[in-house]
Amino acid sequence: MRPRFLFPLLLVFALLTMAFIVQLQEIEYPELTVDMIAGAAGLVLTFVFAYFPNLNTWYAGKDDAFKKLFMAGVVTLFAVAAFGLGCAGYLTVLFQVTVVCTLESAVGLLRAIVVGLVVNQGVYRILPEAKAVTAAKAMRSPSRDDIPHAWGPQ
């Protein structure tokens, strides 16, 4: 097993262990809010695009503007899809979750998108890079020093 997968595996192990302990002790825990779920979704997307093989090098090879817009699109797509499935009644059938489709819940959807993006972008910036990602970034484009300029040394 490669070391770059060690941190995500430890995180999953810790979460599963905590879930098992909570189930055993039957501790009451606070109800999940939309913001908590959106933050968790942003966190999961960060780990997927930072550590999943081949996907992480593809994503690292893109420029920063593309990465920001792409993540905004993915988070928005998932949030709107979940909202739409909830309004259509599919989430009630699958997960026994009831979604009330009102103007208030639509505003909550926008807030959830913002929370998901803030968590996603904030965590992505502080995660250590995998070696394959560092190599992909180096191959992405020439540095500014390699591009000849009329005003620079020739």
For residue 129, what are the contacts with CB-CB under 8 A and spacing of at least 6? 50, 60, 137
pLDDT digits (tens), the chain, 154 positions: 456 666 676 677 776 676 666 555 555 656 767 778 788 888 889 888 888 888 888 888 888 899 899 999 999 998 888 888 888 888 777 777 777 888 888 888 899 899 989 998 888 888 888 888 887 777 765 555 445 555 555 5
The count of other CB atoms within 10 Å of the CB of residue 52 is: 15
The count of other CB atoms within 10 Å of the CB of residue 86 is: 19
The CA distance from 56 to 33, in Å, is 30
Residue 121's closest CA among 77, 52, 69?
Answer: 69
Whole-number pLDDT of residue 69: 93
Amino acid at 73: G
Most distant pair of Cα atoms in the chain: their distance: 71
CA angle 120/57/40 to nearest 5° reads 20
Whole-number pLDDT of residue 117: 92
Query: DSSP character for 61?
Result: T
Whole-number pLDDT of residue 93: 77
Contact 43, 127 (CB under 8 A): no
For residue 53, what are the contacts with CB-CB under 8 A and spacing of at least 6? 132
